[in-house]
Structure formats: structure tokens, C-alpha cells
Amino acid sequence: MQSSPRVSPPSPQTNRLIRSALAWTLLGATIAVTHGADYYVAVEGSDLAGGTRAQPWATVAHALTKVAPGDNVLVRGGIYRQQILMDGKAGGISGAPGKPITVRSAPGEEASFFLSRLMTKPEDWQPAGPIFGPRRPAA
């Protein structure tokens, strides 16, 4: 009768290596599961488009009504003059614990926002000495 070869237990260094590889594998799987979709907004976009890099939306406000928790809104380079509601109201969707909705510039690009109210009607303005300033609501 032949005896089976004797296998010695792994060394502490091998155990650490195996545990480290397992941890990195689990971390990678967790990141893959929790990372949502990427959607795009661009100055030349349209809110009737699909929100892809090739067919971006025009406004962040619209994007926030379409994305899901964990998704990313990547804003292409440019200057944006638009109102952004990021509080889950007015049709916007909120993130969830561990799944925030992220709004940031697209990688390698710079987006700038002027978030002040657009004042396009003459009644929005009032004389303020030698210059005009925004009309203030009556107290």
C-alpha cells in the first residue's frame, strides 16, 4: 500500500499572500458591484438625448431626474449657466447609503458653473446709484 505524499502547511508568508490576494479580489468585486453608470452633460448637449458621452444631456438638473443611486454625472468642459437642485426635490433622485450620486467634471476636463439667477427681464433690474443691480424683494 502506497502512502500519500505528506503536504506541509503553508508558511506564514504564503498565508499573508493568500489573504491579501483574497482581500483585493473581494474589494474589486465590491467596487464593480457598487459602481453605477456614467452619464454625461455638455454645453452643446440636449436634454432629449440619452446622456451618453456621444449624446450628452444639456443640464445637470435634467441628469438628476434620470440617474439612479450610485451613478455618476460627468460634466464636460465648458461654462454652464443653469440652476441645479441637488436635494432630491423637483423630480430629482437622491442617492442611497453607500451609493451617492456623484456630479463632477469629466476626467481631464474643467466645468465651471455660474449659479446665480439669470435675470433676463427688465423688471429684474433696478437702479442702484450710477449702476443697475438686481431688484430686491420688498420687505
pLDDT of residue 32: 45
Return the minimum-mean-pLDDT range out of 7-11, 20-24, 130-134: 130-134
pLDDT tens-digit map of 57-76 = 999 889 988 999 899 999 99
pLDDT of residue 83: 73
Q: Taking the domains of the chain in order of start, what are their residue ranges?
A: 36-118
Calculate the average pLDDT of the chain.
74
Amino acid symbol at 32: A
Would you say 93 and 67 are in contact if contact means Cβ atoms under 8 Å apart? Answer: yes
**Among 109, 118, 47, 104, residue whose Cα is nearest residue 78:** 109
Query: Is pTM, for the whole model, over 0.75?
Result: no
3-state SS, residue 80: strand
- The CATH number of the structural domain formed by 36-118 is 3.30.1910
Q: Distance (Å, rounded) from C-alpha 47 to C-alpha 62?
A: 7
pLDDT of residue 33: 47
